[in-house]
């Protein structure tokens, strides 16, 4: 795991200052504290920071091929590199190192742009080919590893693993994109189709970009997508056996490491599944760690303890409390862009705990997206069936007005929130799912914006990219489309961003075996009834794990890694909630109605409504803008 950065002149070829590339890499030192390197040639410069995981003494980067034609700077892990190495050796390739980096170089020389499709793993890399005078950028299929890039005024393109790498370049403009503010207020993060800064882009997951000197920057090329259009026809028992094979293969392939390795363990189905297969791999006692909260309703440590005892792991746990709130500025600095998933704080804490004993940790991320494990997906499947029974005219003309009139019950469980359900049923399935997934509904967002920001945004709404994605998804049902959007929109923008930044902040490599692309493709072809059955999400996954895990782990209500910010903002952090409306940074932007923010804060503190996620969003926006120095 590493950090990469570099420069490439797409206009007139000019010398690249190595010191400039070095500065871009230095701010990524947390991603790679074990080594660094810079390589430059006319019109191109590559930089690298290394976290040594495999082939500890070899594989320095940037790495040149034996014939010095090709140079690479690579962040990630290729789990099938040994198989690829054997295949390429049979075709004449020769290798000087024992790691995966040189295998990517050989794959490029063999397959060119198609090399990324041969790689199984998580990656973002840049390859410069001297003969073709091209720079090739690629990002892994699901977007586990990030890659930012921007065209600069001197005719160069800058790229880096994190936005802070681009910010180290003096020519990067620091002007906020108002559409990104709308996106952020909708989702709580800035999705991959946008950046908080105008002109900065993120290479989409499953895409590559081929750059040439004296040639305009083209659109990224997609080399992988997940399809929900086909269905497995095998019997459930056979599919269960196939699923277990995929799980074992995914976990064991990610246990290859030359440094200590462990796992995050929340006590939920997904992380417990990973630990079960790690324990069965016969490689000694598994190290596990978990984080709990000082609010009982959000604490899962007892479940994690039970799984740790079941598999006799070397387990450690800690409690996160509101008095650790002072770390918010540190957390904001990890993400650069505003990021309001409140579970980032405990995720960082569990990464810190893991780093005390290991350098690599396996997580359970990805199963909810792939196997329909979120409650919102289960509700969406039910709502889609209702939409099919109720004529559209009745839904829009009757249910819509009823939803508007019904009181908002923030405190109630989702099935009892009639307002949300009625509003969801009144529109299309995509509209309803976007409403369920978003943090702040459009009517509340618009009431918070100043007149100036509303004019800048125009008719754009943050939900639109997601609803368009669902409408165009390779899917056979509403549930398919919802899962597709979760895998392509929510997962890289929120979940994987959170895990990448918080783990890399402490120089820890996090691996996601449940996002093995072959496992994801298998899950996408499962019949709906094997994903959601009798209101139970992840049905086949849970059924297949009954031989390994007890029912009170498999079938207890989903809790999630949820920080208790609602309670904190009504208690020890009430003054922080009140202070948001007085923020000098937010006032300077003139984006919001501060009087309205103050009203919402008081309503939350008094317990009349739950605005905790909105307040957290505004707080994180304030801290991020201050650090970015946005104009």
Catalytic site residues?
Answer: 2
- Among residues 7, 3, 5, 4, the alpha carbon closest in space to that of 42 is found at 7
The answer to whether 260 and 357 are in contact (CB under 8 A) is: yes
Please state whether 468 falls in left (phi above 0), alpha (psi between -120 and 50) or beta.
Answer: alpha
- Among residues 230, 228, 243, 232, the alpha carbon closest in space to that of 485 is found at 228
C-alpha to C-alpha distances, 45 to 8, 30, 216, 279, nearest whole angstrom: 7, 21, 18, 44
* The residue to which tokens 């997601």 are assigned: 466
**429-437 vs 418-426: helix crossing angle, rounded to 10:** 140
H or E segment and range at residue 620: helix 612-628
Dihedral of CA 537/542/544/546: which sign? Answer: negative
At 178, phi and psi to the nearest 5? Answer: -60, -30
Which three-class secondary structure state does DSSP give residue 398? Answer: helix
* Cα 285 from Cα 262, distance rounded (Å): 9
The pairing of beta strand 287-293 with beta strand 261-264: parallel
The answer to whether 503 and 510 are in contact (CB under 8 A) is: yes
- Among residues 169, 139, 134, 138, the alpha carbon closest in space to that of 151 is found at 169
* Cα 37 from Cα 30, distance rounded (Å): 15
Burial tier of 456 (Cβ tally within 10 Å: 0-12, 13-18, 19+): middle
C-alpha dihedral (580, 615, 560, 406), degrees to nearest 10: 160
Give the helix ranges, DSSP H, for 44-162.
Answer: 81-90, 101-111
Dihedral of CA 546/551/557/558: which sign? Answer: negative
DSSP code at position 174? -
Nearby residues of 547 by Cβ (< 8 Å), 6 or more positions away: none
């Amino acid at each position: 795991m590493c950090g990469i950065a570099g420069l490439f002149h797409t206009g007139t070829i000019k010398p690249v200052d190595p010191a400039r590339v070095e500065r871009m890499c230095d701010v990524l030192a947390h991603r790679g504290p074990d080594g660094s390197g810079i390589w430059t040639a006319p019109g191109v410069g590559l930089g690298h920071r290394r976290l040594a995981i495999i082939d500890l003494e070899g594989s320095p980067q940037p790495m040149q091929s034996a014939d010095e034609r090709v140079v690479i700077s690579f962040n990630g892990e290729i789990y099938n590199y040994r198989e690829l190495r054997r295949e390429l050796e049979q075709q004449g390739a020769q290798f000087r190192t024992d790691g995966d980096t040189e295998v990517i170089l050989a794959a490029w020389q063999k397959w060119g742009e198609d090399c990324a499709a041969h790689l199984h793993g998580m990656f973002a890399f840049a390859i410069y080919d001297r003969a073709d005078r091209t720079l090739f950028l690629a990002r892994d299929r699901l977007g586990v590893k990030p890659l930012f890039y921007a065209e600069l005024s001197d005719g160069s393109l800058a790229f880096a693993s994190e936005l802070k790498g681009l910010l180290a370049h003096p020519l990067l403009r620091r002007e906020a994109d108002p559409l990104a503010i709308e996106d952020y207020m909708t989702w709580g993060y800035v999705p991959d189709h946008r950046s908080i800064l105008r002109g900065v882009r993120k290479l989409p997951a499953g895409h590559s970009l081929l750059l040439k000197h004296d040639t305009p920057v083209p659109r990224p090329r997609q080399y992988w997508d997940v399809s929900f259009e086909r269905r497995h026809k095998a019997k459930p028992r056979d599919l269960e056996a196939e699923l277990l094979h995929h799980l074992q293969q995914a976990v064991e392939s990610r246990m290859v490491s030359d440094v200590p390795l462990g796992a995050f363990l929340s006590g939920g189905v997904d992380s417990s599944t990973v630990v079960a297969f790690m324990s069965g791999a016969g490689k000694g006692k598994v190290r596990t760690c978990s984080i709990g909260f000082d609010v009982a309703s959000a604490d899962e440590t007892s479940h994690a303890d039970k799984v740790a005892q079941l598999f006799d792991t070397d387990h450690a746990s800690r409690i996160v409390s509101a008095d650790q709130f002072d770390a918010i500025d540190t957390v904001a600095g990890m993400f650069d862009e505003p990021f309001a998933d409140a579970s980032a704080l405990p995720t960082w804490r569990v990464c810190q705990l893991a780093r005390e004993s290991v350098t690599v940790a396996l997580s359970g991320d990805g199963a909810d997206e792939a196997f329909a494990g979120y409650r919102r997906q289960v509700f969406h499947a039910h709502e889609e069936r209702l939409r099919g029974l109720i004529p559209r005219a009745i839904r829009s003309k009757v249910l819509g007005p009823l939803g508007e009139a019904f009181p908002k019950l923030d405190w109630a469980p989702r099935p009892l929130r009639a307002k949300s359900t009625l509003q969801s049923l009144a529109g299309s399935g995509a509209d309803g799912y976007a409403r369920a997934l978003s943090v702040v509904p459009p009517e509340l967002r618009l009431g918070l914006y100043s007149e100036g920001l509303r004019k800048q945004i125009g008719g754009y709404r943050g939900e639109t990219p997601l609803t368009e994605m669902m409408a165009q998804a390779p899917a056979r049902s509403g549930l398919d489309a919802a899962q597709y959007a979760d895998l392509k929109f929510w997962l890289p923008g929120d979940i994987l961003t959170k895990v990448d930044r918080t783990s890399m902040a402490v120089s820890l490599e996090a691996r996601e075996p449940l996002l093995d692309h072959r496992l994801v493709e298998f899950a996408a072809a499962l019949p709906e009834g094997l994903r959601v059955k009798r209101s139970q999400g992840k049905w086949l996954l849970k059924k297949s794990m009954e031989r390994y895990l007890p029912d009170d782990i498999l079938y207890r209500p989903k809790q999630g890694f949820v920080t208790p910010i609602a309670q904190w903002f009504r208690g020890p952090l009430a003054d922080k909630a009140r202070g948001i409306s007085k923020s000098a940074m937010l006032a300077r932007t003139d984006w919001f109605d501060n009087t309205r923010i103050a009203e919402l804060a008081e309503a939350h503190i008094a317990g009349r409504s739950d605005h905790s996620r909105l307040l957290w969003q505004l707080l994180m926006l304030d801290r991020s803008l201050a650090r970015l120095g946005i104009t």
